[in-house]
Structure formats: structure tokens, C-alpha cells
Amino acid sequence: MLPQSFTERMQGLLESEYEEFLASFEHEKYQALRLNPLKKDDMSVITEKVKQTFQLQPVPWAENGYYYTKEDQPGKHPWHEAGLYYIQEPSAMAPVTLLSPQPGERILDLCAAPGGKSTQIASAMEGEGLLVTNEIHPARAKILSENVERMGIRNACVLNETPEHLADIFEEYFDRILVDAPCSGEGMFRKNEVACEEWSPENVQLCADRQDGILECAARMLVPGGRLVYSTCTFAVSEDEDTVHWLLEQEPELELSPLDLWEGAQPGMNGEPVIRLFPHKIKGEGHFAALFHKKNSSSFQEISEEENGCRGKKRGPAGNPGKGTSDRDLGEGFLQWEEQVSVPFPRERMMIRDHLVYLLPEGFHPGWRLRYLRTGLLLGEQKKQRFEPSQAAAMALSPSRYSCCFSMKRSDERVIRYLKGETVSLTEEETSRESWPKNGWILVCVDGWPLGWAKYAGAVLKNKYYPGWRWQ
């Protein structure tokens, strides 16, 4: 049952449309997934395969976004574990479309968990540039990091920091910033009863106050000419339009950018150039989004290569990016594994910390004093004379770039056995045709997409799938 204070406010807000809005809560929720282009050079291959399996219809405002039906079960599927797609509420895909991330940029997702929007940003960045994705709550930050790894993202740092601390370090540093702010969650009422039970007018105001502080920090971190998107999944004017007005008053260098409305999308309640998505107008739970750009630049969409490298004294954290890592430091075990990989690992972007080997994103400075869950791509761990590649490395690799791969069809019962952490037996034919090195690292795949690692031992593959991801 919807809170009375909420229904009274919405009735005043929507007037003649209120009954239609109320009726939408009786409809089944819309479900969607977003295909992951980082998993294949040719997106048509992924699209065609998934369309053959699930009943998909495109989400109008999201590239690679598709609705699926109630009969489909994409969440409990090997392709989901392979990072082929991310399951995401359809209207929640809209803010990143407005952000319009580009390869090679420095981008911040400030309130990022569980990771839907961060992974959407990363897809558009194509592995180039630096993505900083942050979550203040430790448990949610862990979930964020896992989703970043599953989607095979190589150029992301996952942080567990306060906005205030980030603003002190990254002043005028990011080309684009997304603030999908913590809110009262009114757009989640239909699919989440807990959100409905926890709602109150007092919590709405508390959220609005918190959003002001977060946005103030975000504005400090945006470069002149940069793009900032503010979004919520609530319908409250105090958290939406009022927060936008407050930010414009506090930060005169920011201005709203005009927006093209999708079918079903509406402008602000007083005609503001923002986007409102209501559940009775679109196939989704509802969202709010506003696009700002920071003035003092001829174009916030066109940033020269020279400017992107250095924007003056306030371009962000100073410091030496590091001297890199030598082959001697990496060790024989790593070098042997690297021989199987046809992807370059630039030594100037590699770092070893506590025997863990990382490939750092472009522009990353190891000296930044931050709470990290992930610094770029964790390649693996040094163990005496051995090297053990990570689950993250498996998810970021393409089978065409690794010499020792074993792929099974999704209908093969061994796929599920592998996902449960069990040993995989090989047929006589499979054993005879493979020329893998004994005890070598094998990239296990489903339908040509990586799932994880195994060790080759004659007629079996010893399971090295990450224990935290195993199916029960």
C-alpha cells in the first residue's frame, strides 16, 4: 500500500494524470538487460546470439538496451556469468545516455553501486581513458567491484570514499561526472516493498539535503567545459527540480543544457530543461535526470588532446605516475603466462603491490591516497616462482587473444559443473586434439566467452573458478 502522504503529493503534482499513474502500480514491472560490447569486437554477433535465446525488444533511450519477457531467465544463465550482459531497470539506463561518455576521457561515477551505470559508461569508453567509480558504503562497494570485474572492464578504479575527500584530491579533474544520487526511491515502490515501507516525508528532505552536499563536491571536480549529469529514481520535486535550482544558485559556472525528449519523456514540472520518466508514460519504473555543463569553454563536447593531458594548475592530483615494473620484478611465472596472451601489457602502466600484479589505467597515479577496491585490472598474484592469473583477467580477455582456451556449448552439462566449482572431465577426443602444456592455465569459455580459469591435468581440468562467484 502506497503511503498516504506520497499519494496526496503525487495527486497534486500530476493532477489529471494521477489516476493513470496510480494504475501503473498494478501492472507488471518491465525488465531489461544491456548487452556488453566489451565482450566482442562485432556487437552484431552478441546481439544475434542473445536475440535467438531471449525475446528482446529495444529500450528507446539506451544503446544495446533491451526489454526481456517474464518467461526469459537471463539472470540464471551462463552468459550472465560470462558478462555478456548486465540486467538493469530500463529507465535507469537514461542518465548515461545523457552523459554521453567518450573513449579516452576521465570520467567519475560518484554514487556507483551496484554498478549498472558504471558498466554502461565503461562500454562507451571502449577501454580507453580513466573511469573512477565510487561507492561510500563498503558492502555495496564490494558488489560494485564484482560487477566491474564480471563485465571485463580494464580501465576502472573502484573506490570506497566520501565525496568530500574525492573533491579535495580531484579538483577540476574529470571531463564527465555522473551523480545518480541516493534518494527516497519512489521509483522503486512497484518492485521493492521495502522502499515503500521505509519512505517518509522526513526521509525525502534528508535525501534532498544529502544530495546538495554531493553535488557541491561533484561541481568542484568537473573541468571547465565538462559535463555533469544528476539523476534520481524519485518523483519528489524537492529532490529533483529544487535540487537542480539549488545547484545553479550555488555554482554560477554551471548551466543546464537543453535536452531532446524521448517518446514518453516529459520536461520538468515547471517546464525546466530536464527529463522526467513516469511509469504511466514509459516502459519503466521512472527516473529523473538533468544535464549541466561547466562554462568558460567554447565547447564542453570538444576537448583537445593537449587540454586533456594538462589543464593548468588545477587539473587535478599532482605526482609521478610511477616508473613502471621490470620483467625481473614480474618474475618468470608471469612472463610464461604472458607468452600465451596476445595483448600488450605496457610495463610503464604495471604495478606490483603485496605480490598482486596490476595493469593500471591511463593517467592513473599510484600515489593517490584513496581507499581502493580495484586499481585498473588485477592480472594475478605472484606465488613464489609461480603466477596465478585472476578472475578479473579471465573476464577481460578475449579467447582470440589467449592461446589455451577450452569452450563448451551452453547446453553442455559441464558448464554448470564448472560454475559450481567442480572438476571438468575431458573426452578422449578433446584430450587428444589439445596441445596444452601440462599444468598450464586454461581459459574456460561458454559459447566462446570466458568464464574463468582451470589447470590442465591430462583428462581433466582442475577448477580454478573464483570461489565467491560459484553457483550453489
CATH topology of domain 399-469: 2.30.130
pLDDT of residue 137: 97
pLDDT of residue 272: 94
- For helices 116-125 and 138-150, angle between their N-to-C axes, nearest 10 degrees: 40
How sure is the predictor about 431, in pLDDT bands with cuts at 50, 70 and 90? confident
The 3-state DSSP class for residue 414 equals helix
Contacts 24+ apart (CB under 8 A), 47-50: 49/447, 50/79, 50/84, 50/85
Q: Given 111, 207, 217, 233, which residue is catalytic?
A: 233
What DSSP element (H or E) covers 246?
helix 241-250
Q: Omega into 114 within 30° of 0, i.e. cis?
A: yes
How sure is the predictor about 301, in pLDDT bands with cuts at 50, 70 and 90? very low
Q: Are 88 and 116 in contact (CB under 8 A)?
A: yes
Question: 177, 123, 168: which is closest to 148 by C-alpha?
Answer: 123
pLDDT of residue 296: 76
Q: Are 379 and 358 in contact (CB under 8 A)?
A: yes
Q: What is the pLDDT of residues 313-352, one digit of tens each?
A: 344 454 344 567 999 999 999 999 999 999 999 999 999 9
How sure is the predictor about 363, in pLDDT bands with cuts at 50, 70 and 90? confident
Active site residue 217: no
96 by Cβ neighbours in 10 Å (0-12 / 13-18 / 19+) ranks as buried
Lowest mean pLDDT among 26-30, 52-56, 81-85, 165-169: 26-30
Question: What is the number of other CB atoms lying within 10 angstroms of the CB of residue 301?
Answer: 12
pLDDT of residue 41: 67
DSSP assignment string, 132-199? EEE-SSHHHHHHHHHHHHHTT--SEEEE---HHHHHHHSTT-EEEEEEE-----GGGTTT-HHHHHH-
The 3-state DSSP class for residue 356 equals strand
Q: What is the pLDDT of residues 152-168, one digit of tens each?
A: 999 999 999 999 999 99
C-alpha cell at 181: 544520487
pLDDT of residue 321: 47
* Check whether domain 4-30+89-294 has CATH 3.30.9.100, yes or no: no
225 CB-near residues (< 8 Å, 6+ apart): 293, 294, 296, 297, 298, 299, 300, 303
Q: What is the pLDDT of residues 209-248, one digit of tens each?
A: 999 999 999 999 999 999 999 999 999 999 999 999 999 9
Cell 521509483 -> residue: 187
Q: What is the pLDDT of residues 258-280, one digit of tens each?
A: 998 999 999 999 999 999 999 99
List 388's β-bridge partners, or say none: 381
C-alpha cell at 165: 575527500
Range among 35-49, 262-276, 357-371, 424-438 rated most confident? 262-276
Domain residue ranges of the chain, discontinuous segments joined by +: 4-30+89-294, 327-393, 399-469
Say how far residue 189 (Cα) sits from the centre of its chain.
Answer: 23
pLDDT of residue 324: 77
Contacts 24+ apart (CB under 8 A), 411-419: 415/78, 415/446, 415/451, 416/78, 416/471, 418/444, 418/451, 418/452, 418/454, 418/461, 418/463, 418/465, 419/78, 419/81, 419/451, 419/465, 419/469, 419/470, 419/471
Average pLDDT over residues 58-74: 95
Helices (H), 276-326: 305-309
Separation of alpha carbons 191 and 25, rounded Å: 9
